[in-house]
Amino acid sequence: MGDSQYSFSLTTFSPSGKLVQIEHALTAVGSGQTSLGIKAANGVVIATEKKLPSILVDETSVRDISSLFFHKSQPFSCLLFRCHFLILFFFLNYLWQVQKIQILTPNIGVVYSGMGPDFRVLVRKSRKQAEQYHRLYKEPIPVTQLVRETAAVMQEFTQSGGVRPFGVSLLVAGYDDKGPQLYQVDPSGSYFSWKASAMGKNVSNAKTFLEKRYTDDMELDDAVHTAILTLKEGFEGQISGKNIEIGIIGADKKFRVLTSAEIDDYLAEVE
């Protein structure tokens, strides 16, 4: 990972024992668009603001790929399933458009706050790690393993020579044999499991709001409504299906990104 010209790390300890580059990376995350995640009793929801820089940006280049993905992941048999898994990943890396919530495996999704380009790199690495696990063990990667490996990559970039830390925090949402799970991974590479969390610009208000509203026996639909209300709190302008993104995973263990029509339906229910 280290570049030969830079055999020394750029992230070094300050006299007070802090790693300032990581702190700066967290500041970069804190100025990114708000995103949040909520773990319900029967699923997980992650959501984010999606404010495009200008009306000239092509919205259709912000495409919903979950329709393609559904079709590909029906397991007819073990062998075919594996082929479809691979085809899915092949397509995923080429179909990336400006969609902030991304699928890592059929049952794990991820959203970020911070620098988009850094996020793309992490998504690509995580997908590859998930696929390598699958090739070795012939079963889907558990959420904790994937989070751990992604976090390890992020930690590498805080210690290797000639690189800077990633300027993103991730919220990983998944559903496997252990049930619904939500993890937050920071630029330092540390990760925690959360019942509900937020990151980005409006983080303190969002977290206070979530603390008040969260209950352990929440259903997925309630969680989606709560997520929308939390985003609405700090939202500048008119919230609609076009400027937020929501991803959910339920007991069916299939992660999908909601279409803007579905989001508008939820918004109408919330009004």
Binding site for other proteins (CB under 8 A): 3, 5-6, 10-12, 14-16, 18, 20-21, 23-31, 52-58, 60-61, 94, 96-98, 115-118, 120-121, 157, 162-167
Please give the Cα distance from 32 to 158 (Å, whole number): 20
Please give the Cα distance from 123 to 98 (Å, whole number): 13
Judged by beta carbon, residue 27 or residue 132, the one nearer other proteins is 27
Angle 28-101-49 (CA atoms, 0-180°, nearest 5)? 60
Judged by beta carbon, residue 124 or residue 254, the one nearer other proteins is 124
* Number of Cβ atoms within 10 Å of the Cβ of 80: 11
Minimum CB distance to other proteins, residue 123 (Å)? 11
Judged by beta carbon, residue 42 or residue 158, the one nearer other proteins is 158
Minimum CB distance to other proteins, residue 72 (Å)? 17
Minimum CB distance to other proteins, residue 211 (Å)? 26
Compute, in degrees rounded to 10, the torsion defined by CA atoms 217, 224, 151, 135: 90
Minimum CB distance to other proteins, residue 158 (Å)? 11
The candidate with the shortest Cα–Cα distance to 65, out of 111, 96, 110, is 96
Minimum CB distance to other proteins, residue 98 (Å)? 6
First to last CA, the chain: 50
Please give the Cα distance from 169 to 115 (Å, whole number): 9
Minimum CB distance to other proteins, residue 25 (Å)? 5
Judged by beta carbon, residue 90 or residue 192, the one nearer other proteins is 90
Judged by beta carbon, residue 41 or residue 153, the one nearer other proteins is 153
Judged by beta carbon, residue 28 or residue 249, the one nearer other proteins is 28
For residue 121, what are its two tokens?
Answer: 């790199």
DSSP state of 154: H
Please give the Cα distance from 185 to 167 (Å, whole number): 11
The candidate with the shortest Cα–Cα distance to 198, out of 113, 267, 119, 101, is 113
